[in-house]
Chains A and B, each alone.
Chain A
Amino acid sequence: MSNQSKHRSNTKMVPVPSGSIVPERDFNEIPVLETRHLGIEFGGLKAVDDFNLTIGKTEIAGLIGPNGAGKTTVFNLITKVYEPTSGAALINGRDLHGLNIVQASKLGLARTFQNIRLFGNMTVEENVRIGLHNQIKYDMFSGILRLPRYWIQENKQHEKTLELLHIFDMEKLADERAGSLPYGVQRRLEIVRALATNPKLLLLDEPAAGMNPRETEELMENIAKIRDQFQIAILLIEHDMNLVMGVCEGICVLNFGRVIAKGTADEIQRNPVVIEAYLGKKKEAQA
């Protein structure tokens, strides 16, 4: 419990018209993400229903909830892996309707995956370079004919890659095969790769899964560092409450596909509905 208070940010959260809260510093900015009554049905089952969330420009937000609450489905809706059956999602005020995964990514969305999805047969450096795919470009013919542009851009990619890997002190691993890295390192590499796409909103799906307490502690510091350095918003799904309560400014709780609570870490921890969702009814919990 002691390390919680060490990290807890004392951000002042203010309400916005949509009913969510954002950090006061982001109040006058266009929210990086705004979902309006977002929902999806799978053959009559409402996996996510009436999901409303606003995330400020530099906010670190958390999305929590019991297993099967629909958290990853929300990520898949925002990143357009699924097409929502109702509602809308806006990135920096731009509606995502009708866009595909690639176009959504180009608007400034980047994510990591719950079940790690690295390019296992490629090196760490190559993985990060895929993140730079739309940042440092040259066409196929410059590549095949090795025109000057190829060398210039490849050099730029190489330097940028090392710079990004430096965030997690992973420069030495640049030549390793991504698939052969330890689990925790793979998770970090996924974050670096996502950051390489120069996102406005970074979606982290259980970044601390499989990490030991010390690694989690480090990750927490790094998440805050990334936000400060890149001035981006981060939305994370996580079951490790130390991490969520420690680093998240606004927290949204999901249960059975519906938002049951929104607020700061303190508010969420005191919220009886949240406690009930996690532990069952109060009487049973006490008994």
Chain B
Amino acid sequence: MKMTRAKRSKIIYNIVTFALVIGAFFILQSMIDAKTISRSLKGQLVPICCWIVMAVSLNLVIGISGELSLGHAGFMSVGAYTGAVISGVLVNLYGVQDTTLRLVIAIAAGGVMAGIVGALIGIPVLRLRGDYLAIVTLAFGEIIRNLVNVLYIGTGDGRVYSSILNKKLPEGVTMLVDGAKGAVKIKPISTFMAGFILILITLVVVLNLVNSRAGRAIKATRDNRIAAESMGVNVTKYKMMAFVTAAVLAGMAGALYGLNSSTVVPTQFTFNQSINVLVFVVLGGLGNILGSVISATALTVLPEVLRAFADYRMLVYAVVLILVMIFTNNPTIRAITSRLFAPLKSFFRRAAKYAPAVGGAVKELGGEEEGEEQKHE
């Protein structure tokens, strides 16, 4: 198949994204093996993986499908609780000791559960036009937080007990979810490897989805709903597809996150946390997956590094957000930056031209151009 320019730049973008993630993983893994990694960074590794998945999945909703979702932490919460309960049940009732198996099942369950919840929200809301999704997801985040606050789940006598609002569990039950105390006595089983694999899965799903028939339909819906409908695109279906996929991924990230510590409390997944993820997405660039990965990593690591200034974090966020918006939307500043980067771009273009690996594809663009280039030099 003939490779077009757009297709090639897409492939390069994907390769860079994957190379960056895989490269970072191997560097960090070798640092862990050599024990040269700092304790605080090591503790941050799994959360970073979770937040990357959160940011990328939210970008699918906001950047690609153009809907505003303000309750992404709610899906993470659903995933975290589901994962913790499933893992606890597997140990207590079925005696599954293999941590990898337990982790895989817990993550899958977290994803499925969050996906179901996402579908329940999406079915009524995504039929509407306008910003209803933002309002409903905002409410959803709060509802979930309050719901798990009064949720009691425990195991004993070979079965699962659960109650809501009041703790009505028999004596001697091993508590898994204990109301406001959250999910308790979790045996941390998350590994950096699992987080890495989850990121890869997320990237494959999101990038492949975006560059496919369904992804184009999602983007078309974002760009112009009426035109997309007139072309026979079932708008609600594709909005649902993006939203539910994002919810599933967030649920999986939540399960991984929950199983990384010994407790999960409802206050971990507040509106602030949803906004945090939104900040990752906006900073990384709407629709820019690689940007989300980078900004999620940077903004998770930075507060730890700058622990002394942690109090000013929200203040800095606000300022940075405003600056980013100015820089990306002001035509004058954009013109200046593009001029600054122009030499760099042409360098890369030339490098690509003479690099043998991509040379074959470039030749198709026409030999004339190349001949002229050589004359100039």
Q: A residues within 8 Å of B by Cβ?
A: 79, 81, 100-102, 105-106, 110-111, 113, 117-123, 125-127, 129-131, 133-134, 137-140, 142-146, 150, 153-155, 157-158, 174-175, 193-194, 196-197
Contacts and interface: CB of A to CB of B under 8 A. Distances in A.
A174 B4 contact: yes
A139 to B, nearest CB: 8
Contact of A126 (B204, B214, B219, B226): B219
Contact of A175 (B5, B212, B215, B228): B5
B1 A158 contact: yes
Given A123-B6, A146-B208, A174-B4, A105 B229 contact: yes
Interface in B1-30: 1, 4-6
B231 interface: yes
Contact of B229 (A102, A118, A122): A102
B212 A140 contact: yes
B227 A119 contact: yes
A127 B227 CA distance: 10
Contacts of B6: 123, 125, 174-175
B272 interface: no
A77 to B, nearest CB: 14
A133 B224 contact: no
Interface of B: 1, 4-6, 204-205, 208-209, 212-217, 219-220, 222-224, 226-235, 241
Contacts of A117: 224, 226-227
**Interface class of chain B by DSSP:** helix
A143 B216 CA distance: 11
B5 A143 contact: no
A169 B249 CA distance: 43
Nearest to A122: B219
Given A79-B230, A101-B229, A133-B233, 11 more contacts: A102-B234, A105-B231, A105-B232, A113-B226, A113-B227, A122-B219, A122-B223, A127-B220, A140-B212, A144-B209, A154-B213
B232 A197 contact: yes
A101 B221 CA distance: 14
- Identify which of A117, A140, A150, A196 gathers the most chain B CB atoms within 10 Å of its CB: A140
Nearest to A174: B4
Nearest to B237: A102
Contacts of B223: 118-122
Contacts of A139: 214
A244 to B, nearest CB: 23
A144 to B, nearest CB: 5
Given A118-B227, A155-B1, A158-B1, A143 B232 contact: no
